[in-house]
Amino acid sequence: MALTTHGRFLKHLAEAKSYWRYTCMKNRTIIILASLALAFSCLFHGHTAAAESNRISAPYLVGQWLPSDQLFIDQWISEQTEGAESAKKEPLLPVIQEFKDLIEEDPQLYMLFNQMFEQLPHEKSFRKDPTGKPQVKNYRQMLRVMNRILTTAPEFNKTGLVGFPINAILDWPMGTPAGTTAFLNEKVNRQLKKILNQWAVFLSSADSRYVLNDHPEKGWFGRDAREAMPSFVEDFTCDPAAHYYGFSSWDDFFIREFREGRRPLASPDDDSVIANACESAPYRLAKHVKLADRFWIKAQPYSLQHMMAMDPLAEQFAGGTVYQAFLSALSYHRWHSPVSGRIVKTRIVDGTYYAEALSEGFDPAGPNNSQGYITQVAARALIFIEADNPDIGLICVMFVGMAEVSSNEITVYEGQRVKKGDQLGMFHFGGSTHALIFRPEVKLEFDFHGQTPGLHSDNIPLRSRIATVVKHRFSQNPKRHNYFGLHLEKNQ
């Protein structure tokens, strides 16, 4: 009898525990969904207020590459999905067919590319647009939409969805556990690089110029574009009287140059003043950065040896300073030297294109909230410069591609001497973020031009002052390092 009672007790206890777990999970789900609903409501309200005031005031997150207005994203994806469905019988381009074969023939990738769509929350916000039309719902549909995108060029729009159409269709899936894993996969990123390079061929062709027109809403020289870039003709080298303003392709337009004198160099004769390397907005300033750190956690600390792809020069920067800034959709996309000196080393590092930090959860404009994280994993360019100013010494300038960015082009060579403000390279077909990395011996006073670094900062002009080096007091610190890591004594 005692045994039976004890058995019943254990059974009831197990049932109670099960019910308690179910209730907690249910309540947690309700809280999460309510938070999401509130977040989307706030975003939509911000967009409405911006429209009423005839200016963009909604939070555009990092880089302004994807709009915070989820309604616009949903409508755009719906249009792309419908177009892909109507072209269902058209053959896939070879590079997309290769991707399909890779997914379906590799059991791990086949599982991940199915799971990334299955793991999406069963909410309308993730599955359908506000009109009830379906969004991309599986990898086969994803491939058809990508197939369609590769022969189109980005049109202008006021919300900022410029240059990142593939990112838009992968925005939710890449935030799932399966998506996070899949888009870190080396084979996947090799194929994505081939796909983006194929798109680059189109964007570098004369056929891509069709969007360089005066359509009031979609044209890059139309009414809305002129409102967003009111000084375009004065700022950039172009000919308004010529067809397409004289640009030979979408990419030629994208990598346009400033007219002479539009971005004067800060203190050209003072090598203690560091110039802004890109037309960019301050995102983060970090000091005492570790050589190795847990860059994937919520705080996204920098991990220098991973940022620099295990380069032996990374050790010299341990304990140093990292300044990171981002480029906006309407920005200038060429890179310039922050200091005068000699190019010591250049590297192009292959990496990810659509990876984001799992710790960030679902990012409505991913991987914008993963800006720190992607400096360790994304495709990027490294340029090491030995500055003429001994109080700076070796500096590393990093240019990080993100999403559709398929090419980081370095235009300087090892051993070349550069002056502060000279061109170093450029982003093609997109834009992203960059970082200046200083050794721990370098003492700096930064000038953020009245702003606090973060997601809502504004562009600081190219080649303007971004920092000033505080001169070494050799009586306290008589030694410095050159780029070989050797100690250099104070000149006698």
pLDDT in tens, 161-192: 555 677 777 777 888 899 889 988 999 999 99
> Are residues 44 and 80 both part of a single domain?
no
Structural domain ending residue among the three candidates 24, 43, 58: 58
pLDDT at 95: 97
Lowest mean pLDDT among 28-42, 171-185, 460-474: 28-42
Give me the mean pLDDT over the 28-57 stretch: 37
Higher pLDDT, 265 or 297: 265
pLDDT at 78: 59
Asked whether residue 71 falls in the same domain as residue 23, the answer is no
Residues 54 and 71 in one domain: no
Instruction: Please tell me whether residues 70 and 47 are part of one structural domain.
Output: no
333-368 pLDDT, tens digit per residue, is 999 999 999 999 999 999 887 767 555 555 555 455
CATH code where residue 431 lies: 2.70.70.10
pLDDT reported for residue 293 = 81
Domain that includes residue 188, residue range: 62-207
Q: 124 or 480, which is more confident?
A: 124
Can you tell me the mean pLDDT for 193-213? 94
Shared domain check, 166 and 290: no
Q: Is the pLDDT of residue 266 over 90?
A: yes
Residue 6 and residue 73 in one domain: no
Q: Report whether pLDDT(416) > 60.
A: yes
- 421 or 328: whose pLDDT is higher? 421
Residue ending a domain, choose from 16, 43, 58: 58
**What six digits make up the tokens of 37?**
């609903």
Its pTM surpasses 0.75: yes
pLDDT for position 352: 81
- Return the pLDDT at 125: 63
Asked, for residue 353, whether it belongs to a domain, the answer is: yes
Please count the structural domains in the chain.
Answer: 3
When the pLDDT of each residue in the chain is averaged and rounded to a whole number, the result is 78
